[in-house]
A and B are shown apart, each in its own frame.
Chain A
Amino acid sequence: MAAPDLADPGRADPRLAAPAPAPAPSSAPGSAGPALRRPVAELAARLRPSTLAGDDLLAADEALAGLLGGPGLRRGSTVVVDGAAGAGATSLLLRLLAAPTTAGAWCALVGLPTAGIVAAEELGVALDRLLLVPEPGGRLAAVVAALLEGCDLVVAHPGGAVSPREAARLSARARERRAVLVAASAAVGAAGVDPEPVARRGGWPGTADVVLESLAASWVGIGTGTGRLVAHGIEVLARHPRHAPGAPRQLLWLQEHPGTTTPDGPALDGRMPTGGRLLGQATG
């Protein structure tokens, strides 16, 4: 099942299913100002194109809607996932795959041999819709291009092996095939053994529609010798280079943990949730 709710936007549109608006009160035209304005608004609503650009979406997590500026990933777009080492970029990427795979879309991970499969499943990824090309050799661009023909979302981890020209060509291919290209920066899939080179190696050499950047991670549930890791919170900054000038910033909790609500503040406030200590704050 390939996301039927997305395949037929016309039927899902409540505006089309709504009954015809009540006829405008033609009697006493001078006396009913607000009564006239209402049918005009309804008419305007009906005149809007039935298939909006925003309807052509690949499902995304509700928690990510604020960052993506809509309820899903726009098909044909290029998304860059970036971040500081150890700040949760890999988890953010896997979380991005959860909703599409659950909805039946095929996703592929290219050049990420270290991606944690168990973690992916725990973050909600339907593994039966996931393809892995862990070692694309030097042919990453060709592999990604071939996968964009068949998959709805392809994650490419270039690791410096993609030229700006190839990047532009892959973005164009994604646009043409109505697929989503996710370019993962060097921080994604890095074990964090040696943080220095990760920071130096460049990210995606092309343009992007959305850049998701994980700035810092915080953990709930672990103490010094007590508890265990329970919930992972990452602070994510979303930039939309083509559109909105503002960059929404959000603290995203990847696991549920009782007692705290997702704070909307720009930075972690250091409040201690129930049963544990909040550790490891870092600034982006």
Chain B
Amino acid sequence: MATVGDPPRRRPPPGPARILAVRCPRWPVRSLGTDERGPVAVVAGGSVVAASAGAAAAGVRPGLRRRDAEVCCPDLVVLARDVAAEREAFEPVLSALETFGVPVTVRAPGWAALSVRGPARRHGGEAGLAAAVDAVLGRLGPPGRGRRGATGGRAGQPDARERWWRIGVADGHLAAGLAAWRRLVVPAGGTAAFLAPLPVELLGDPALAEMLRRLGLETIGAFAQLDQGVVGARFGRGALALHAVAAGREAVGPAGRPPQPPAQVERRLDPPTGQLETALFVARGLADELVGSLRRRGLACRLLAVEVELADGRRLERRWSGTGSASPPLVAERLRAQLESLGRHPGSPGVAEPDGAAGGELAAVRLVALEAVPDGGDQRSLWGRQRTADDERVARAVARLDGLLGPGAVWRVASGGGRGPAERACRFRFDEPPPGPLAPAPWPGRLPAPSPAVVPVTPVPAALVDAAGAPVRVDGRGALSAPPAGVALGAGPTRAVRGYAGPFPADERWWEPGDHRRRARLQVVVAGGAAYLLALERGAWSLEGTYD
């Protein structure tokens, strides 16, 4: 171990992992095996997801609405997005990367990454490794050709010599992905400097980017210079992780550590099975088990390793990132992909057939949660309650409403501290965690139950008059100037007061000079049985609630 003052030479300080990323630009289009020069766009949800080089030259950009894209480029060929096909077309790339002997992490179809540390030693450094990866991918041929029913015939043959992939090396996944865009090998420790001039949008969080732009922070470097504590307090936990990325310190910090004790589940199949259905069933059960055990510890899996072992001893481990990566249907889908990949591995004849692992029988499946994060926003069940099928149903209905009304139209409520009926109701969005339970505190001046069942959204001015028609006031000692005889709400008529109670004074935040409020509340029952809660502040009465 190094002592103080002695620079550690053998072992680098624990820092962000060196990552090599392979990214395929315009993958939704590429994976279809179409000609890059032709005007092709892939559309999902009414807007363009990716456009071929030919379409891009005509001005078709991702994010453009389909109709606008067709105006830009009248002979545009529009295809619907097929994520399953994108995954399938990416399989050969993953198989090729796995020949380097380290687990491959799939960020998304068209974006894979592997850890540099081991393979770089064998290939003469990072640049050597990048060249080796480049050579391996060069032997693959253009993507999407083997796909049945591809539209290649119409759009012509893609150019076989064209490089459809990009390779980059940097500290951490996100930086490596950005380095791959520019085909760069960023030296160790130089990631922050590499990221600094890039626009904040490239961090991949549009809401945060918009906010930073409004604050005048236009580059990742400017964001990185903010104080970490300030970022956490102002922008929340998600931004804190991105702030670490911006500073070149991805995945260092409390988030993203392997869970302690480690969380893994394994099932050995005896006898080994050749049935894909059985394998998928086992995978779903295992995923359920893993998610359940993590959830009991308040964690969610962010990086999952799926390891399969065949009866003939071959093994394949692949890593999948993203929260929700351990959800049972996704795990089953990944296991299927891995078995098919094993099936078409060199050494086993033939290609993977959809009815099972052609290369052998499945002997064991293991799922390991490599990184876990505190389960906050992903979990909507409250107060330790297990999330039930009902909750899932509600979450789906809310997701539909988000599509219908825009995100954030659905609220949930809790009661909080305060005195008036409006301040005591605490609203939060459906996907936000609820406010923590409140410590019991005295609220002098709070009225006991019942509370008004109707609380106006905007304050309604009110006029309270005595028998002579003069306005009723409350003096400094909390006494009414005269018994109220009539009340008029908004522009309504004056109604006779049949009973009243109060005034109940509330002296709020007297210790804060700017926030100090003095109010007096009065309950009033008018002829007809309706009851109102009126509040007097700075000499003016207003309607705080209706006891309806």
Measured CB to CB, the residues of A under 8 A from B are: 1-2, 85-91, 94, 104-106, 113-123, 127-128, 130-137, 139, 142-143, 146-147, 149-152, 187-195, 216-219, 221-232, 254-255, 277, 279-282
Contacts and interface: CB of A to CB of B under 8 A. Distances in A.
Contact of A282 (B413, B427, B528): B528
Given A94-B453, A106-B390, A113-B457, 9 more contacts: A1-B388, A86-B546, A114-B455, A119-B450, A133-B411, A151-B394, A188-B548, A189-B454, A191-B456
Contacts of B434: 128
B424 A118 contact: yes
A45 to B, nearest CB: 34
A46 B504 CA distance: 62
Given A133-B410, A150-B393, A85 B425 contact: no
B483 interface: yes
A166 to B, nearest CB: 15
Q: Determine which residue in A151, A191, A230 has the highest number of CB atoms from chain B within 10 A of its CB, and name it.
A: A191
B394 A131 contact: yes
A135 B405 CA distance: 9
B421 A128 contact: no
Contacts of B425: 116-118
A114 B456 contact: yes
Given A127-B413, A147-B397, A228-B448, A119 B453 contact: yes
B448 A219 contact: no
Contacts of A231: 450
A7 to B, nearest CB: 11
B100 interface: no
A231 B405 CA distance: 39
Nearest to A230: B450
B94 to A, nearest CB: 37
A10 B127 CA distance: 71
A225 B529 contact: no
B27 interface: no
Contact of A229 (B397, B412, B450): B450
A143 B397 CA distance: 9
Contacts of A128: 382-383, 385, 412, 414, 434
A89 to B, nearest CB: 6
B138 interface: no
Given A191-B546, A280-B498, A116 B455 contact: yes
B12 to A, nearest CB: 48
A229 B397 CA distance: 39
Nearest to B434: A128
B525 A254 contact: no
Q: Determine which residue in A193, A277, A282 has the highest number of CB atoms from chain B within 10 A of its CB, and name it.
A: A193
A116 B547 CA distance: 9
B495 to A, nearest CB: 9
B388 A86 contact: no
21 contacts: A86-B529, A86-B531, A90-B548, A91-B547, A114-B454, A118-B415, A128-B414, A128-B434, A131-B412, A131-B430, A142-B404, A151-B394, A192-B532, A194-B491, A194-B492, A217-B548, A225-B483, A226-B501, A279-B498, A280-B498, A280-B530
